[in-house]
Amino acid sequence: MSNTNFSSIASFIWSVADLLRGDYKQADYGKVILPFTLLRRLECVLEPTKQDVIDEYEARKHLDIPLEAFLTKKSGQSFYNTSPYNLASLLGDPNNLKDNLEAYINDFSANTREIFERYKFIEQLDYLDESDLLFKVVEKFTAINLKPEVVTNHDMGLIFEELIRRFAEASNETAGEHFTPRDIVRLTTSLLFSLDDDVLTRPGIVRSLYDPTAGTGGFLSSGSEYIHEMNEQAKLVTFGQELNPESYAICKADMLIKGQPVENIKYGNTLSDDQLDDQKFDYMLSNPPFGVEWKKVEKAVKDEHTLKGYEGRFGPGLPRVSDGSLLFLMHLISKMRPAEKADKANKQPGSRIGIILNGSPLFTGGAGSGESEIRRYVLENDLLEAIIALPTDMFFNTGIATYIWILSNHKTSERKGKVQLINATAMSEPMRKSLGSKRKQLNETHIKEINRLYGDFEANITSKVFDTTDFGFRRITVERPLQLAFYPHDENRLAALQADKAFEKLPGLLKTEVLDALKSIPEDELLDREIFKTHFKVKLTAAQFKLIQKHISEHNDNAVICTDKKGNPEPNPDLRDYENIPLKEDIQTYFEREVLPHVPDAWIDQNKTDDKDGKTGIVGYEIPFNRHFYEYTPPRALEEIDADLDAVTADILKLLNEVHA
């Protein structure tokens, strides 16, 4: 499509926006213009076969049989309309315009009618009619030619996507929930496809792309556009699911305009109601909401985790309820095609994923936690290819640090067992005008540079390559012996003992016996528990003795080590510590080097073992991204600081002298 044609269509669309000014907020223009643009495009597409569809409908409508197959065959599309109306003919009866337009919309096939329902388009027609705007808006849209021979599906998709972007940015307070900025979409899409360039340039290639948090369809559109740029003969079949009804309607409309099968776009909550549960995909893209709790779907998710385990989506573990980002990651992993099975026609096994996450999934949760177990699953199955750190202030509704994760289950040979970290936090330019929290953007140079770093797979100041095991560790429990000194006559300790609710519940006679026995001990301090027991001649249960011990004793390095019945040292829970030992290090070697020189009486609790491999220590994984790119900045010299302070002091004195003068 020529720039002139694109410009004329854009000008036309914004002239409609001018009509709405005053009666509509700018952020609400899209609620009118997007469905009307869709409506005009659909009737232009259906025009050549419209009469054939009407004739077919009239001939069969009395047969009491499903007519969809007959009517779609006649229309030559995946949708149809049986109404005799179009926008131009509706203008001939201005007094009944709203009712006739509503009837026209209701005569679309169900898959198309649903889009207008999700838009709540009838409500907009009511408001337009009340505001005396309906006739003018319909008249405007009647004047634009959106026939496929004038505007191709691809070009129409670009126009519609540009409208979506503009209206989303106009409502930037909530845009981030349903719309990912174009520059981030472009970068993530290019990273996802970049290593498959040779495959995607084959003639007639067919691939699938899925987004479980489709929003308004930005990722699906970008994927289609990217493939089209590489290979006009390639076909990318898009799939998605979206929870917000208006965003779902926009996404479905966009796919319909591009000639994509709209039945692939589903409505509902992906985590609790996966409507594509039997599907696997070649490529997946997602920008799930950052830090959003999943309490509403907690039961469904936990039931799937418990009942299905690794046969379901959430086998590795569950993150805390306050952040569901990693649930979407596991959901996408469950949609990967098996790496060992190549498609006979297209000769490509496996899948690739690009997902945008905040910093929390990198490190939240210690060894054995749900988050750590999810990272463990990803890394031990060698699914993670790269993580790219983005600048802050890149999204409409948040300025926090964000990261693009690229995953694959068919890594190239040089990437097997490796993870690449790319620090792109310095690659941005300020926007001329902020959009909500978005103050920075990536230009084409930045996007190309990040893709180059990713493709080169080399270690340098902004790109580092690690073994997957570099992010793993064993959390061992370090114990130290219990050494207690007893103080049977200490008034404060005795008072605390008697105030303890557990002591108050003891029988009255037993309480008296305990206090008398303590009073009868001749020493004020005993450094051996066994000697204390020989003096303390009251029969108590183990729990009752621990109650006494809790209040009248304390740790003392000079005391005799307490032992159990087998003569083994008892651990002191108050001195218990933990050490995270890198997976590549021998535990005992590390312990002798890092721990024993400082606490020579310490030992490792060998009973604390990992559930999966049975070895000492619980395995954990974290990806401390910032630590690997930290650059030490030495403090300023004291002389410089003193000089600055002297200068500031002199300025203050000068100002004070001027005031007093």
Please state, in angstroms and rounded to a whole number, the distance separating the CA atoms of residues 150 and 511: 97
* 505: DSSP letter: T
Considering all CA atoms of the chain, what is the largest pairwise distance in Å, rounded to the nearest integer?
112
pLDDT in tens, 350-381: 999 999 999 999 999 999 999 999 999 999 99
Please state, in angstroms and rounded to a whole number, the distance separating the CA atoms of residues 444 and 315: 40
Residue 202 binned pLDDT confidence (cut-offs 50, 70, 90): confident
Using DSSP, state whether 355 is helix, strand or coil: strand
pLDDT score, position 26? 81
- Write down the domain spans for the chain: 1-147, 481-555
Side-chain half-sphere exposure of 399, counting CA atoms within 13 A:
8
* Structure-token pair, residue 69: 């197959």
- Cα radius of gyration (the chain): 35
Query: Could you tell me which residue, 479 or 170, shows the higher pLDDT?
Result: 479
**Is residue 469 within 8 Å of 460, Cβ to Cβ?**
no
Please state, in angstroms and rounded to a whole number, the distance separating the CA atoms of residues 62 and 616: 75
Q: Tell me what the pLDDT averaged over the chain comes to.
A: 90
pLDDT score, position 638? 87
The whole model's pTM is what?
Answer: 0.84
Using DSSP, state whether 342 is helix, strand or coil: coil
Contacts of 544 (CB under 8 A, 6+ apart): 506
Give the torsion sign (CA, 8, 12, 17, 18): positive
Residue 171 binned pLDDT confidence (cut-offs 50, 70, 90): low
Q: Which of 60-64, 294-298, 442-446 has the lowest mean pLDDT?
A: 60-64
List, as one string, the DSSP characters of 266-290: EES-TTT--TTTT--BSEEEE-PPT
**Is residue 483 within 8 Å of 574, Cβ to Cβ?**
no
Give the torsion sign (CA, 444, 441, 243, 387): positive
Q: What is the 3-state secondary structure (H, E, C) of 180-245?
A: CCHHHHHHHHHHHHHCCHHHHCCCCCEEEEEECCCCCCHHHHHHHHHHHHHCCCCEEEEEEEECCH
Q: Which of 192-201, 461-470, 635-644 has the lowest mean pLDDT?
A: 192-201
Share of residues in the chain with pLDDT > 90 (%):
65
pLDDT score, position 341? 58
Beta bridge mates, 467: 418
Start-to-end C-alpha separation, the chain: 75
Please state, in angstroms and rounded to a whole number, the distance separating the CA atoms of residues 418 and 159: 41
pLDDT score, position 135? 95
**Is residue 181 within 8 Å of 394, Cβ to Cβ?**
yes
Q: Which of 5-14, 92-101, 486-495 has the lowest mean pLDDT?
A: 5-14
Residue 148 binned pLDDT confidence (cut-offs 50, 70, 90): confident
Helix (H), strand (E) at residue 34: helix 30-46
**Is residue 45 within 8 Å of 70, Cβ to Cβ?**
no
Helix (H), strand (E) at residue 422: strand 418-423
pLDDT in tens, 88-97: 999 999 999 9
> Nearest 10 degrees: CA dihedral of 92, 93, 95, 101?
-100
